[in-house]
Structures are given as C-alpha cells and as structure tokens.
Amino acid sequence: MTNTPKQVDPLNPRDWSRQPPAYWPDYKTTRARSPQRKLVRLAGSMSETTGPIFNHDDLGANDWDLLTNFAAPGECPIGPRILVHGRVLDEDARPVSGALVECWQANAGGRYRHKNDTYLAPIDPNFGGCGRTLTGIDGTYRFRTVQPGAYPWPNGPNTWRPAHIHFSIFGHSFAHRLITQCYFEGDPFIPHCAIVQSIPSQDAVDGLIARLDLEETIPHDTVAYRFDIVLRGRTATPFENQLEWT
C-alpha cells in the first residue's frame, strides 16, 4: 500500500520538422502576420479553459450534410458529390470522442460564400459551404458535400490553391482549438501551392491529403475520401494556427 502518485507517461513531443514555420517568404501572407519576437506563453483563464461542453443538442439534424443544410427544398448544390470521413485521434492513436469538428470550403466552382470573395466563379444558391458534427465514441466524423474547386489567389502572378476543405477541431473549451485543411489525392496543384511548400516534411504533406476510399463510396451517387486527424505527437497533422493541443 502506497500513496505514491501514479507516474503518467509524458506526451509524445511534437516533431517540429513536420510543422510549417510561422514565416515562409514564398507564402506572402506570413510576411506580415508571423511573430517577429519570441513567443510568450500565457496561462489561460478559467473562462478560456473550461466549457462549453458540446453535445448533440447543439447541432441541427443536417449540420453534417452540406448537400442539404443550405439547399432549397427539393434542390441540391452543383458539383460532384463526395463524402469526407475519418477519425480524430490522439498521439497514441486513441479515438477522441465528443470533439466538435467544423468544416468550410469553396463551392464546386472555387468560390466561397463570403462577401470578400470576388472570384468570378458564380455563387451556388444551394450551397452554404460550412458544416459541423461531433466525433463518435470511436472518434469518427463524416461530412457529405461537393468536391470544392481550385481557385486563384494573390500570392503571385499565376497561383492557384488546390481543392481543399478547412477543418476546425475543438476540445472541451473554445481555447482548445486547432485548424487545418485537407487536400485530395491526385490533385496536380498540390506541389505548386506555396502553403503546401512551407511544410518541410513530405510525410506531413501526405498526412494532409484525403485518400480515395472505394469501400465507403456509394455507387452511382457519392465518392468517398478518408482523412484522419492526429492532434499531437510525432505524427500530428500539420495545423494552421495554434502550436499545441492544450
């Protein structure tokens, strides 16, 4: 009998060789928004590190389904129908349940439903471009949507973003949040994207690519892609904003 506290294995250290630097000159936006001084870690306040706890009562029945959650009755968005699914995992490949996963994307023409998006592709009146869901007990999530289109962006004279979907993963408070994005297997724009080029590890780039999943594909209906998200550790998915899953 002892009162010695149980030793908890430390978290696997983040492999920084997989993560993009805050400043990457070829990615022009980082020139202005990357930190110029050493970062200072601040303790979170009680309101930042506790609550809210998300549950299914906070979600609408069709929040996960971007084919219907903005469409008029009897209508559907234009574009190839796809299912993006996977699991949210911790550093030891254990499922993370009850995590709020949000997504947003451009429509099939490559245009976001946002007032600041002036790309000449048309707005799809039946596509809002955003959704949300909670991970299951086994860490699984899924979104039904349309294949987003590539679009030009002002990083250079002839630069295009690969087709991609943004993901936001919340923990059990608003301060516990990570943002990333997934690309799609076979997209020829991926190696030409300055954002992708900022990721120093090809293995990490591969971790941002959703893979064709024929087993989950619905014949004559919906093509499926699998995209697993690892929150931290040596195989963590590269993220866009915060450096740690706190």
Where in the sequence numbering do the catalytic residues fall? 112, 151, 161, 164, 166
77, 218 contact by CB (below 8 A): no
64, 142 contact by CB (below 8 A): yes
84, 165 contact by CB (below 8 A): yes
* 196 closest CA partner among 163, 171, 173: 163
d(CA 208, CA 203): 9
Question: Containing H/E element for 48?
Answer: helix 46-49
Distances (CA, A) of 94 to 10, 180, 205, 229, 238: 15, 20, 22, 11, 18
- CA torsion sign for 229, 233, 236, 241 is positive
Q: Collapsing DSSP states into helix, strand and coil, what is residue 225?
A: strand
d(CA 98, CA 141): 10
147, 79 contact by CB (below 8 A): yes
Is 210 exposed, middle or buried, given 0-12, 13-18 or 19+ CB atoms closer than 10 A?
Answer: buried
